[in-house]
Amino acid sequence: MADEVHLVRDILDKQLVDRDRRLMGKADGIVLRMRGSGPPEVVAIEAGPGVLADRLHPGLGRRLCAALERLGKDIGQPLRIPFAKILHRGLDLQIDTDARRTSAYAAERWLKERLVRRFPGSGE
Amino acid sequence: MKGALKWLLGIVTSICGFIEVGSISTSAQAGSEFGFRLLWAVAIATVCLVFLVEMSGRLALVSGHTLVSAVRERFGFRFHAVPLSAEILLDVLVLSAEIGGACVALQLLTGVSFRWFALPVGLAVWALLWYGTFSVIENGVSALGLVTLAFVVAAWKGHPDPAALLAGLVPSAPPDSGSLPRYGFLAVGILGATISPYLLNFYSSGAVEEKWSEKDVMPNRLVAAFGMSFGSVVSAGVLVVAALVLAPRGIHVDRFEQAALMLLPAFRSWGVPLFAACLFIGCFGAALEIALNLAYAMAQAFGWNWGEDQRPAEDARFCVVYTAAVLAGSVIMTAGLSPLKLTLFSMALTVVVLPLIVMPFLVLLNDPHYVKTHRNGWIGNFVVTFVLLLGCLLAVVVIPLEVIGGG
């Protein structure tokens, strides 16, 4: 029983970090796949404002995603991380990826390009 | 030696983070209207604050997770959305009040209406955040903030009666029952100004920024205890000076201009400029901290990369949040809202929000996943429960008090 995972307690809302411990959002949602009459299969973790907004009110997420997608396709899209990619599970969930190459940094990149680097002293 | 210096600096920083628009205005009003009678409110609030600050530091240095981050992870987003929204709203209001306080200080010095200073002061706050680092902000503010010790000097020079001071530390009824709502409103205001929610998350974020670790448990305890206690001595100094100088002359603090008179007997012609300097530095420092805290809270709630020591291009979302916050705070002040009224309203609102902010302490600081063996003792849990119950009780009475006693 040592490896028993409680999805809500141990996964949902935990901080996600990449291979190099870069912060890459929180586990905003968990995706299960129903398999006929068998037990559901845990497929992935989802992260993104739309996923989070859906938890407050169904429908809110869809509208938020649509609005964000106008800024950039990958800003609105939730990031889906297969369960198999979890390297380490503790207070944080370490994911086997490079955060900067994922959509977790899409909004960060957008703000940096469109806004932040236009101000002097931004470090760019 | 370097370690000792670091902790000494931590204590000085805490003193100076303490005096800001809320504590100056609530203490000045309390002293001018009720003499030393409300000193107990400063004392009780300080004890509660020392415990809560120590806990938010301990949580951060043992777990590496700040208060906001841990609340989201442990309680889930459905719960966290409520205290998070409350804290964001409150922080924007208090940020605006702090910018207002700094502008009023400039008005005292120049005679030009505070509204004209709102945007320049906002710009200065933003520029320091944009170009500065965490230690520049912390240490710069604390070094300048030592000027607020002027209130303690003035209180000392006024020779207050020690017996009367001690009597003020014991809660007592106001002189006549008609003034009870006002007395209650000011007591609540002092609690709200002292136990500032932003201070708690700011402190735990600072612990992460400065890479404190488990070996810093004891120094954290000392910084929290001494820093907050010394800070409250300055706050009590304001109350005592107001009681000694303003109360006998029948001056009630309806505007900051009246409060500015309190340093005249002790410092003569330097009194008003010195008051303005204290108000400006205190409010400016607090504005920096609150704007940063808003960015910390958003980044930590949503798991973004954050850190004041990174260049803005490295944490764009974090910087955009504090930029928007400072802009909002400045615009509200440009509209000409009374900074004093906004402050008193925000302090009362803080007390309403307090139970939501404090409740998670009971769980997080007893959870070995977060604090390992450094769990709360019974005294710590008692204090949190006390603040929680007091907060709930006050939250129910604060709205009637706001209506009857706030004006």
Q: What is the ipTM of this complex?
A: 0.94
Determine the Cα–Cα distance for residues B141 and B207; give it in Å rounded to an integer: 17
Picking from B354, B346, B340, the residue whose alpha carbon sits closest to that of residue B396 is B354
Model confidence band, residue A2 (pLDDT cutoffs 50, 70, 90): low
Superfamily name and number for A7-118: PRC-barrel domain (2.30.30.240)
- How many C-beta neighbours within 10 Å does residue A101 have? 9
Tell me the mean pLDDT in the region A50-59.
90
Determine the Cα–Cα distance for residues B137 and B32; give it in Å rounded to an integer: 33
Determine the Cα–Cα distance for residues A46 and A53; give it in Å rounded to an integer: 12
Tell me: the pLDDT tens digits for A71-86? 888 888 899 999 999 9
B286 and B24 Cβ atoms separated by less than 8 Å:
no
Q: So what's the pLDDT on residue B17? A: 64
Three-class secondary structure assignment of B201-252: HHHHHHHHHCCCCHHHHHHHHHHHHHHHHHHHHHHHHHHHHHHHHHHHHCCC
B376 and B55 Cβ atoms separated by less than 8 Å:
yes
* Neighbouring residues of B148: CB distance < 8 A, sequence distance ≥ 6: B15, B16, B19, B234, B278, B281, B282
The strand ranges marked E within chain A are: 15-17, 23-26, 29-33, 41-47, 79-82, 86-89, 92-95
Q: Is the CB of residue B316 less than 8 Å away from at least one CB of chain A?
A: yes
Q: Is the CB of residue A81 less than 8 Å away from at least one CB of chain B?
A: no
Picking from B160, B214, B201, B133, the residue whose alpha carbon sits closest to that of residue B39 is B160
Structure tokens at A51: 């996923």
Q: So what's the pLDDT on residue B288? A: 92
> Looking at the partner chain, which of A23, A52, A111 has a beta carbon nearest the beta carbon of B316?
A111
Picking from B13, B31, B102, the residue whose alpha carbon sits closest to that of residue B248 is B31
Contacts of B80 in chain A (CB under 8 A): 13
Picking from B242, B213, B226, the residue whose alpha carbon sits closest to that of residue B49 is B226
pLDDT of residue A1 exceeding 60, the answer is no
**CATH fold label, B21-170+180-405:** Amino acid/polyamine transporter I (1.20.1740)
- How many C-beta neighbours within 10 Å does residue A114 have? 12
Q: In what order do the strands lie in the sheet with A23-26?
A: A23-26, A15-17, A92-95, A86-89
> Could you tell me the sign of the dihedral formed by the alpha carbons of B52, B55, B57, B60, in that order?
negative
SS3 (DSSP) at A24: strand
Tell me: the pLDDT tens digits for B135-148? 888 777 777 888 89
Strand partners, A33: A41
- How many C-beta neighbours within 10 Å does residue B3 have? 9
Q: Where are the domains of chain A?
A: 7-118
Picking from B285, B259, B345, B254, the residue whose alpha carbon sits closest to that of residue B99 is B285
Q: So what's the pLDDT on residue B103? A: 96
A43 and A77 Cβ atoms separated by less than 8 Å:
no
- Cβ distance A116 to B370 less than 8 Å, yes or no, reads no
Following CA atoms B52, B55, B56, B59 in sequence, which dihedral angle do they give, to the nearest 10 degrees? -160
Q: So what's the pLDDT on residue A28? A: 96
- Cβ distance A121 to B312 less than 8 Å, yes or no, reads yes
- Cβ distance B77 to A115 less than 8 Å, yes or no, reads no
The stretches in chain B having pLDDT less than 50 are: none
Strand partners, A17: A23, A94
Q: So what's the pLDDT on residue B352? A: 86
Determine the Cα–Cα distance for residues B280 and B52; give it in Å rounded to an integer: 27
- Cβ distance A56 to B81 less than 8 Å, yes or no, reads yes
Determine the Cα–Cα distance for residues B256 and B28; give it in Å rounded to an integer: 9
Determine the Cα–Cα distance for residues B353 and B376; give it in Å rounded to an integer: 23
Contacts of B77 in chain A (CB under 8 A): 13, 26, 28, 52, 55-56
- Cβ distance A15 to B303 less than 8 Å, yes or no, reads yes
Structure tokens at B192: 């709200």
